[in-house]
Structure 1
Amino acid sequence: MSVSERTITNLVRLEEWDIPGLIALSVSIGWDYDKDEINTVMSSGKVYGHKTKEGKIVSSAAIIPYGSSLASIGMVIVHQDYRGKGLGRKVTQKCLDSVSGDTMVMLIATDEGKSMYESMGFSSKDSVHKYLCDNYLSMKSNDALNVEIISMRKEDLSQVVKIDKDAFGEERRTFLINRINQAKESLVIKSPDGNIIGYGLSILGPINLILGPIVAPDHHTASLLIDKLANNHQGKLRIDIPLGNEDFIFHIKKCGFVKVSQPPIMIKNSKQLPQRNKALYGIAAQISG
């Protein structure tokens, strides 16, 4: 289907009233963004896109800033009928232009988008393992760990933000507040002395219960946290795991998770990812890094 350039309006920032159009764009390529997910992204960052003169959204990209030194790009979509016109590059560049030129920008690329990102100055530095599960098998072998896993309270936020910063590499208070508000379940891990040493969220999407972020002091505790979040859920599960967590991956595979892809993490304006303490066992989502 040929589409004239004249049918596309200027590139604009998208707002709350554009969410139905963004959902339709997502569905058009088989992705599963819903209202709650897009609300979290819009509340944490900015979403841009191209519209036709009739108001149809035909491209999108979002950027979420974390402090002044790091940002994450995601939700880069171009409608099938409007590809080959450079819209993906233009909307991604709009995101880049919205932050300082020396800000480290990260994204998790699709196979289709990888070459475009490379041409824009991004380079692959790592990857994540995407795992799905149709039928979760609970594993109780870690119940003997001397920790307490309980529901998160408002007064826990400061400690959660701190341990998340150490695990992720930058403070992301605004995003975490919005993500916690979106979560089906928010749990914290407490040591015997009452300190919070980990946390985990579950997000109920249209297709999967998404597990993440998952932050824990070791893979045994991370596995127990997963069990608490996943147990009794009737439906599909998803978790995206950073590299270097082989023992944790070995455990979740026994619980029924199957690896479906390993997309690259790409960055711009830096030679390496932010420094992390190896406590991140599951990312929040591919859009948020």
Structure 2
Amino acid sequence: MVTYSKNHLKLHIFGENDIEGLISLSQSVGWDYDGSDIQTILSCGKIFGHKNEFDQIVSSAAIIPYDTDLASIGMVIVNPGYRGQGLGKDTTKACINSVSNQTSIMLIATPEGKPMYEKMGFKVVGDVHKFICNNYVPSNGFPDEGLKAEALQEADLDKVFELDKNAFGDFRRKFLTNRIKQSHQSLVLRNEMGSVLGFGLSVLGPCHLILGPIVAPNDSAAAYLLNQLALNHKGKLRIDLPPRDETFMNHLRNSGFEKVSQPPIMIINSERMPTRNNHLYGIAAQVFG
């Protein structure tokens, strides 16, 4: 492998004209960010990174600030030929410096990145369970509370924002608005009175139909939402779960999912995760925390 020096590399803030270059960078490490993902990140956050003397993007890191005092870092990528020169650290620092030092910043680390984040002051506060499904087994079960999944309407947005805030730990209005626009399917969970008790999104990526965020009042309601999102999809599925007990994970296994990794959640400027109500059953994607 050819290795290049750090000379002539400049740190940039990327924009829409850089989307193709960011896709190429993602592909250089075997990741599957596509234009829609990057557009959503740019719509509610910033992406920093280096370009070489040929105007090629060789590193990146994204930060998505949420509505009050929480942000998420992701998409930390360094082209293999430029590793070992501190580019990942430089881009992550740029992300951290772009928000207030009162902002709690979370990320989901790769095994390669975890030592660097620890040196920068991030602490492990949990983990995420990544599940992949090649052949989905539909569920015949339905919640016994009279719940029904229906297409999300504009009138539902304020309630969805509130449900997500209580499940995730901060309001994410701008992010969710853009993620819903990107979604393949957006559902809300209504009770017999018409009240919205949960919601779920699916996003079609290059390799998988990504299920999440999924917010539901209990395991059976979450399983029902997942089934409605996954039903009739012929390709691979992916869901990333925040920390929870084995009950829902066993449902996933019975539905054809297999756990493939368990990366750590890390945080800086705080000692713990934000307060959550345990209703988050699937995160949007690792870059969004």
Which TM-score bucket, shorter chain as reference?
A: over 0.9
Shift of 1:141: 1.8
Instruction: Confirm whether residue 243 of structure 1 aligns to residue 277 of structure 2.
Output: no
Please name the residue that 1:223 is paired with: 223
**Equivalent residues in 2 for 1:1-289, closer than 5 Å:** 1-8=2-9, 10-142=10-142, 144-289=144-289
Cα-to-partner distance string for 1:61-80 (whole Å, 9 max, x where unaligned) = 00000123100000000000
Cα-to-partner distance string for 1:13-48 (whole Å, 9 max, x where unaligned) = 000000000000000000000000000000010001
Cα-to-partner distance string for 1:102-160 (whole Å, 9 max, x where unaligned) = 21000000000000000000000000100000000001122554101100001110000
TM-score, structure 1 as length reference: 0.98
Question: Taking every aligned residue pair, what percent have the same amino acid on both sides?
Answer: 52
Tell me the secondary structure at the aligned position of residue 56 of structure 1.
coil
The residue type paired with residue 87 of structure 1 is L
CA distance in 1, matches of 2:144, 2:136: 21
Deviating above 4 A after TM superposition, structure 1's stretches of 4 or more consecutive aligned residues are none
Tell me the secondary structure at the aligned position of residue 7 of structure 1.
coil
CA distance in 2, matches of 1:272, 1:180: 28
Q: Kindly indicate whether the alpha-carbon contact (under 8 Å) linking 2:19 and 2:38 is maintained by their aligned counterparts in 1.
A: yes
Q: Kindly indicate whether the alpha-carbon contact (under 8 Å) linking 2:68 and 2:171 is maintained by their aligned counterparts in 1.
A: no
CA distance in 1, matches of 2:131, 2:17: 33
- Return 5+ residue gaps in structure 2 as ranges: none
Q: Kindly indicate whether the alpha-carbon contact (under 8 Å) linking 1:245 and 1:281 is maintained by their aligned counterparts in 2.
A: no
Q: Kindly indicate whether the alpha-carbon contact (under 8 Å) linking 2:145 and 2:191 is maintained by their aligned counterparts in 1.
A: no
CA distance in 1, matches of 2:68, 2:87: 27
Tell me the secondary structure at the aligned position of residue 22 of structure 1.
helix
Q: Kindly indicate whether the alpha-carbon contact (under 8 Å) linking 2:143 and 2:220 is maintained by their aligned counterparts in 1.
A: no
CA distance in 2, matches of 1:238, 1:72: 20
CA distance in 2, matches of 1:158, 1:146: 23
The residue type paired with residue 266 of structure 1 is M
RMSD: 0.9
CA distance in 2, matches of 1:119, 1:16: 32
Q: Kindly indicate whether the alpha-carbon contact (under 8 Å) linking 1:217 and 1:279 is maintained by their aligned counterparts in 2.
A: yes
TM-score, structure 2 as length reference: 0.98
- Return 5+ residue gaps in structure 1 as ranges: none
Q: Kindly indicate whether the alpha-carbon contact (under 8 Å) linking 2:201 and 2:212 is maintained by their aligned counterparts in 1.
A: yes
Aligned pair count reads: 288
The residue type paired with residue 223 of structure 1 is A
CA distance in 2, matches of 1:5, 1:107: 25
